Structure 1
Amino acid sequence: MEPLDPKDRAILRVVQTNATLSAGAVGRAVGLSQPAAWRRLRRLRDTGVLRGRELSLDLEKLGFGVTVFLGIKLATRGRVSLDDFERAVSAIPEVRRVDHVLGRYDYRLRVTARDLPDFERVLRRRIMALPGVGEVEANVLLSEERLPGPI
Structure 2
Amino acid sequence: MIDLDETDRQILRALRQDASLSAGELGRRFGLSQPACWRRVKRLTEAGVLTGRRLVLDREALGFGVTVFLGVKLATKGRVSLDEFERAASAIPEVQTVEHVLGLFDYRIRVVARDLPDFERVLRRRIMTLPGAGNVEANVMLSEERLPGPL
- TM-based fold match above 0.5: yes
Mapping for residues 132-143 of structure 1, pairs under 5 Å? 132-143=132-143
Structure 2 CA distance, aligned partners of 1:51 and 1:2? 14
Q: How many aligned positions are there?
A: 151
Structure 2 CA distance, aligned partners of 1:79 and 1:140? 30
Match of 1:100 in 2: 100
Structure 1 CA distance, aligned partners of 2:76 and 2:150? 40
> Secondary structure of 1:105's partner?
coil
1:68–1:110 CA contact under 8 A, matched in 2: yes
Which AA in structure 2 matches 1:128?
A: M
1:62 CA drift (Å):
1.1
Structure 2 CA distance, aligned partners of 1:84 and 1:30? 47
Match of 2:86 in 1: 86
Structure 2 CA distance, aligned partners of 1:14 and 1:127? 37
Which AA in structure 1 matches 2:142?
A: L
1:60 CA drift (Å):
1.2
Task: Give the CA RMSD over aligned residues.
Answer: 1.2
Q: With structure 2 as the length reference, what TM-score do the two structures score?
A: 0.94
Which moves more between the two structures, 96-105 or 54-63? Answer: 54-63
Q: How high is the sequence identity, in percent, across the aligned residues?
A: 72
Match of 1:65 in 2: 65
Match of 2:15 in 1: 15
Which moves more between the two structures, 134-143 or 52-61? Answer: 52-61
Mapping for residues 1-40 of structure 1, pairs under 5 Å? 1-40=1-40
1:89–1:127 CA contact under 8 A, matched in 2: yes
Task: Kindly provide the CA deviation profile for residues 103-127 of structure 1, in whole angstroms up to 9, marking residues without a partner as x.
Answer: 1111101101111111111111111
Match of 2:149 in 1: 149
Match of 2:120 in 1: 120
Structure 1 CA distance, aligned partners of 2:97 and 2:118? 18
> Secondary structure of 2:105's partner?
coil
> Secondary structure of 1:83's partner?
helix
1:96 CA drift (Å):
0.8
1:147 CA drift (Å):
1.8
For structure 2, which runs of at least 5 residues remain unmatched after alignment? none
Which AA in structure 1 matches 2:94?
A: E
Which AA in structure 2 matches 1:141?
A: M
Task: Kindly provide the CA deviation profile for residues 13-52 of structure 1, in whole angstroms up to 9, marking residues without a partner as x.
Answer: 2212211111011111111111110011011111110121
